């Protein structure tokens, strides 16, 4: 992990060592955040993550015993239902574990796509499946509503008495989810530590219980990771978290406010965890660092001045080792290796400490997510027609709405932020795409935020084609984000970070929609409302934003739109 100690690196290191930041963070000293009253108050309540290995709040053997009981009864599949920090770590480590063992299948239901939900429900036997509801607050809308759909499905197969035994809840004491679990007779309720925020919960029961269910020895994993936790608390230059944080700080100080996490396809899921931790912790007050998950290192073959690279060799992929040789020598880079699934726990710890150190250096509160709430509020207004909150809500001054079926026959509606309009705009999709892409300047990034299913031949390929075309033609960092997951991740940076993002939101009608028990809207309509709400939130912040709503999410429709999008990219002068 050798690096060149540039001025910004040295300044950051000197500051953190002078503050004794590592040891004070491990000691839960909230005065490290005295630069902001709210940050210090939240730090005092939410620093339990710094000692989750050395001082687990829940006895590890209790987690193991429950998991072993359930496995002994004949467990084929685990379905994790949740969103954001409550699911990302467990999704990461179980996915990596699948490369080594597939004894128990593990699926994460964090999408509202009826295509995706129907696939998960129909691909396992409810009698041999455990459904794990993970929500720290117990009130996050996606798992709350998905739980109703899943429980309705399981009850129809097993009956009300048996259905509850197939569910386990992980949540804070006294939450709405705990009350629901008690009412519906869940198999067990596991309490998450109240002094640990969601995205810092990678070493808590949120990840440890799913790990134990798929057969990972969590006692040995925690014992090994305890060494890394100790290293990250030491006030010396060998501290791996200090090295990582000062590397990113040096880049930020020199205009590299983005970094590519370069991984082989098998390790891409770990990049999603990094993405949430970095973007949601630092992307606020007009500041932030954009993480971009990348499996094609060739996009870094040019000397891009706005980004650095962090390369993770996961497993033994010879093609990956060859591909990172393409990275231009002018792009600063760090290299790491993960040889097995449990090693990722040590990297969780390193990143959690490192990003908190960055918050201190940037004077940013790493423990809140104020701009995530804006989209949530706007979505509730759309769905429930609640009284408008006193927010900078989108209105005629920030957006223009066009509901129409254009000549293509597959575009149902379009919304465009007024920051992209002038008197010559002709209200066509093609011109809107050219306006959006033509607004990009050096240092900007592009984000395709898709409230669409990834499953099915041709769907993901069409979305990746759009993302890759922007990267190759315009030379910009280009991201593909899937809703609603990104709303709890990079969505904070999109709205709270610097105004250098250009956003295309895609949504579509659902042919085989799913009714939500006790609601007047369907699962597909919820996804559309989230796309609309996030568009309005972005537009209200003056972001350059276009929302295109398609007639369906069929792969042919997406491919035709991708053709149109790529043509618009080609029309941009570079």
73-85 pLDDT, tens digit per residue, is 999 999 999 998 8
Answer yes or no: are the C-beta atoms of 291 and 280 closer than 8 Å. no
Indicate the pLDDT class of residue 4, thresholds 50, 70 and 90.
Answer: low
Average pLDDT over residues 361-369: 96
In this prediction, residue 395 carries a pLDDT of 53
Q: Where are the domains of the chain?
A: 7-30+229-362, 60-222, 372-570
CA distances from 224 to 63, 86, 343, 347, 512 (A): 18, 23, 8, 12, 47
Indicate the pLDDT class of residue 357, thresholds 50, 70 and 90.
Answer: very high
Residue 138: which of 173, 171, 186 has the closest Cα?
Answer: 171
In this prediction, residue 183 carries a pLDDT of 96
Q: Which residues contact 113 (CB under 8 A, 6 or more apart)?
A: 451, 452, 453, 454, 455, 510, 523, 524, 527, 553
Residue 252: which of 490, 12, 501 has the closest Cα?
Answer: 12
In this prediction, residue 373 carries a pLDDT of 86
One fold for both 7-30+229-362 and 60-222?
A: yes
Task: Check residue 46 and give left, alpha or beta (phi > 0: left; psi -120 to 50: alpha).
Answer: alpha
Residue 442: which of 296, 305, 565 has the closest Cα?
Answer: 305
Return the CATH superfamily for domain 60-222.
Glucose-6-phosphate isomerase like protein; domain 1 (3.40.50.10490)
Q: Which CATH class is domain 7-30+229-362?
A: alpha beta
The owner of tokens 């043509």 is 567
371-410 pLDDT, tens digit per residue, is 988 898 999 999 987 444 333 344 556 666 666 666 778 9
pTM of the model: 0.95
CATH-assigned architecture of domain 372-570: 3-Layer(aba) Sandwich (3.40)
Task: Check residue 218 and give left, alpha or beta (phi > 0: left; psi -120 to 50: alpha).
Answer: alpha
């Amino acid at each position: 992990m050798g690096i060149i100690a540039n001025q910004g690196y040295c300044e950051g290191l000197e500051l953190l060592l002078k503050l004794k930041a590592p040891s004070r963070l491990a000691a839960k000293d909230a005065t490290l955040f005295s630069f902001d009253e709210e940050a210090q108050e939240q730090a005092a309540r939410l620093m339990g993550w710094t000692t989750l290995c050395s001082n687990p709040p829940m006895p590890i053997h209790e987690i193991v015993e429950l998991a072993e009981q359930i496995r002994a009864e004949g467990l084929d599949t685990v379905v994790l239902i949740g969103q954001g920090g409550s699911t990302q770590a467990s999704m990461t480590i179980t996915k990596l574990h699948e490369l080594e063992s597939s004894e128990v299948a593990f699926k994460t239901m964090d999408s509202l796509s009826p295509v995706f939900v129907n696939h998960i429900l129909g691909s396992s036997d409810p009698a041999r499946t455990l459904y794990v509801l993970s929500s720290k607050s117990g009130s996050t809308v996606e798992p709350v509503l998905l739980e109703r759909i899943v429980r309705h499905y399981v009850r129809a197969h097993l009956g009300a008495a048996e259905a509850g035994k197939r569910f386990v809840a992980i949540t804070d004491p006294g939450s709405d989810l705990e009350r629901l679990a008690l009412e519906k007779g869940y198999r067990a309720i596991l309490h998450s530590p109240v002094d640990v925020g969601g995205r810092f919960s990678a070493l808590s029961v949120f990840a440890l219980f799913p790990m134990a269910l798929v057969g990972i020895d969590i006692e040995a994993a925690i014992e090994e990771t305890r060494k890394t936790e100790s290293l990250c608390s030491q006030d010396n230059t060998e501290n791996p978290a200090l090295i990582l944080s000062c590397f990113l700080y040096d880049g930020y100080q020199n205009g590299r406010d983005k970094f590519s996490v370069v991984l082989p396809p098998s390790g891409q899921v770990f990049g999603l965890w990094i993405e949430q931790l970095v973007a949601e912790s630092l992307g606020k007050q007009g500041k932030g660092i954009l993480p971009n998950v990348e499996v094609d290192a060739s996009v870094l073959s040019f000397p891009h001045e706005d980004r650095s690279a962090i390369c993770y060799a996961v497993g033994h992929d010879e093609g990956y080792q060859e591909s990172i040789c393409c990275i231009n020598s002018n792009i600063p880079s760090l290299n790491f290796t993960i040889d097995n699934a449990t090693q990722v726990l040590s990297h969780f710890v390193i990143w959690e400490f490192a990003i908190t150190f960055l918050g201190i250096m940037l004077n940013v509160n790493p423990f809140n997510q104020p701009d995530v709430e804006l989209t949530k509020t706007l979505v509730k207004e759309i769905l429930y027609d609640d009284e408008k909150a006193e927010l900078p809500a989108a209105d005629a001054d920030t957006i223009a709405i066009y509901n129409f079926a254009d000549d293509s026959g597959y575009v149902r509606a379009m919304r465009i932020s007024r920051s992209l309009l002038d008197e010559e705009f002709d209200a066509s999709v093609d011109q809107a795409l050219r306006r959006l892409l033509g607004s990009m300047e050096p240092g900007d990034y592009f984000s395709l935020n898709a409230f669409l299913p990834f499953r099915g031949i041709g769907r993901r390929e069409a979305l990746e084609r759009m993302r890759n075309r922007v990267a190759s033609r315009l030379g910009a960092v280009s991201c593909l984000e899937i809703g609603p997951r990104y709303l709890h991740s990079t969505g904070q940076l999109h709205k709270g970070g610097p105004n250098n993002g250009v956003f295309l939101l895609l949504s579509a009608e659902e042919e085989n929609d799913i009714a939500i028990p006790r609601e007047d809207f369907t699962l597909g309509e919820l996804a559309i409302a989230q796309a609309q709400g996030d568009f309005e939130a972005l537009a209200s912040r003056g972001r350059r934003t276009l929302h295109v709503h398609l007639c369906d999410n069929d792969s042919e429709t997406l491919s035709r739109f991708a053709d149109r999008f790529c043509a618009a990219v080609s029309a941009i002068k570079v």
